[in-house]
Structure 1
Amino acid sequence: MTCYFVTGTDTDAGKTLASSALLALARRQGLSTLGLKPVASGCQATAAGLRNIDALTLQAQSRPEVDYATINPYAFEPPIAPHLAARYADAELTLARLERTIAPSLALGRDLTLIEGAGGYRVPLNEQEDLAGLAPRLRLPVIVVIGLKLGCLNHALLTAEALARDGVVCAGWIGNLIDADFAADETLYQDNLAHLTARLPGPCLGIIPRLEGRDHKELARQAAKYLTLPPG
């Protein structure tokens, strides 16, 4: 089994698009897959309970299929930081609790398992711990998704510094073009990508262009064309 923690340089950097695309790519290669979203805020109330669109997207790319609670054991309705959402729901979030909760899922032994974080790398889990602590606790390499826009160099390098400080390996990074205007000047755009390639510790696993559409399965399929799986 190969397992990675997936983080982003910020909220809406494109973690779910990149994660679902990697899972779709793995499935295309005949591998078993599992995408986990242990903590999700911004969930919608449904007849089946709270559901998060990111978690549902990961569930759709997980084969063999698993139930929703396996993908997203901690779901909160307000679209706010997880530690605040948990506090308002009178729930307790700790790294130890998360590790125990997802242990049976990791024991499934899928060929590729991705654990998607929430927000950026240092998003708080409680008053003392960050969700970032899950990667070193589980000894997982990290894939960084960079939202390509003005300011992405600073966000990416700070995230890389945080990974190094935590002693975790950067297995690679994925650029996701979230601002079409950022690529308007092709020379400037390529210079930014070259700087990221030169400064970041892991290999570039691909650059996802600006994709249009609302079908998450189709978006994952399209994005997968631009990616490669992490080495090893």
Structure 2
Amino acid sequence: MKRYFITGTDTDAGKTLVSSALLQKAQQQGLTTFGLKPVAAGCEHVETDNGLQWQNEDAQLLRQYSTEQQEYTRHNPIALQAAIAPHIAAEQENITLSNSDLLAACQPGLGVAADFQLIEGAGGWLVPLNNTETLADFAAELDAEVILVVGLRLGCINHALLSAQVIQNSGAKLVGWVANSLSANMEAQAGNLAFLSQWFEQQQIPLLGHTPYVAGIDRTQPQQLQTITDCLTLPTA
């Protein structure tokens, strides 16, 4: 089993889009896959066989593109209602997030046998779980290799370089990065992409793909994701 942790330069960088496409890419290469979203903030009530359940759209996509589909809670054990920072959303629901509790909640999902296991964080690398722990601590416990999704927009160079350096300084292995277009006007971001491509190459961190802008993925139209999937390669490290 290969296990990867997907993080982004910030919120809405495109983690779920890239994660879903990587799961699809792995499947197309004959691998079994499993996507896990440990904690998701921003959920809605969904009617299930067991009654109403809080579910998150991003986690639903990871589940949809997993070959090893499990009950929803194995793909997303902690589903929070408000679409805000997870530790704040948890406080509003009188839930205490901690690294140890999150690891325990994720054990059923982490135990799913798959060739390619992908774990998507929330927001950026240092998103808090509480006043002393972050999702970076969680990723370290997993001993997973890291993929960084860079949302191409104003300020992304600073965000990308800081994220990459902190990830590497933590001892985690950064095995690749993805440049994700957040606007159809790529001319405005060409300079950022050129600089980042050169910088990451100097750091010997491979570019796994440059994905074009998409307004969103309709879960009922899975063929929409193929455009993104075709732009990506799986990590080889």
TM range (shorter): over 0.9
- After the TM superposition, which residues 5-154 of structure 1 pair with which residues of structure 2 at under 5 Å, given as runs? 5-47=5-47, 48-154=52-158
- For 1:99, what is the secondary structure of its paired residue? helix
The percent of aligned pairs where both chains have the same amino acid is: 42
- After the TM superposition, which residues 170-189 of structure 1 pair with which residues of structure 2 at under 5 Å, given as runs? 170-181=174-185, 183-184=186-187, 188=191
Distance 1:64 1:187 in 2: 38
TM-score scaled by structure 1?
0.93
Distance 2:178 2:190 in 1: 20
Task: Say if 1:192 and 1:46 are closer, same or farther in 2 by CA, change over 3 A.
Answer: same
Q: Return the offset for 1:60.
A: 0.2
Deviations 1:124-161 (A, max 9, x none): 11111001111111211110000011211100000011
Q: Return the offset for 1:219.
A: 3.5
Aligned residues: 231
Unaligned runs of 5+ in 2: none
Q: Return the offset for 1:165.
A: 2.1
Deviations 1:47-95 (A, max 9, x none): 3311110000000011122111001110111111101111111112111
Q: What residue identity is the alignment partner of 2:197?
A: A
Distance 2:212 2:155 in 1: 18
Q: Return the offset for 1:187.
A: 5.7
- For 2:74, what is the secondary structure of its paired residue? helix
Task: Say if 1:213 and 1:15 are closer, same or farther in 2 by CA, change over 3 A.
Answer: closer
Task: Say if 1:163 and 1:213 are closer, same or farther in 2 by CA, change over 3 A.
Answer: closer
Q: Return the offset for 1:190.
A: 5.0
Residue number in structure 2 paired with 1:202: 205
Distance 1:22 1:134 in 2: 21
Q: Return the offset for 1:213.
A: 5.0
Q: Return the offset for 1:9.
A: 0.2
CA contact (8 A) 1:17 1:219 kept: no
Task: Say if 1:83 and 1:200 are closer, same or farther in 2 by CA, change over 3 A.
Answer: farther
Unaligned runs of 5+ in 1: none
Q: Return the offset for 1:186.
A: 7.8
Q: Return the offset for 1:162.
A: 1.1
Residue number in structure 2 paired with 1:224: 229
- For 2:100, what is the secondary structure of its paired residue? helix
- For 1:211, what is the secondary structure of its paired residue? coil
Where has structure 1 moved over 6 Å in runs of 4 or more?
Answer: none
- For 1:184, what is the secondary structure of its paired residue? helix
Residue number in structure 1 paired with 2:165: 161
CA contact (8 A) 2:153 2:189 kept: no
Task: Say if 1:201 and 1:42 are closer, same or farther in 2 by CA, change over 3 A.
Answer: farther
2:214 to 191, 208, 211: 211
Distance 1:92 1:230 in 2: 34
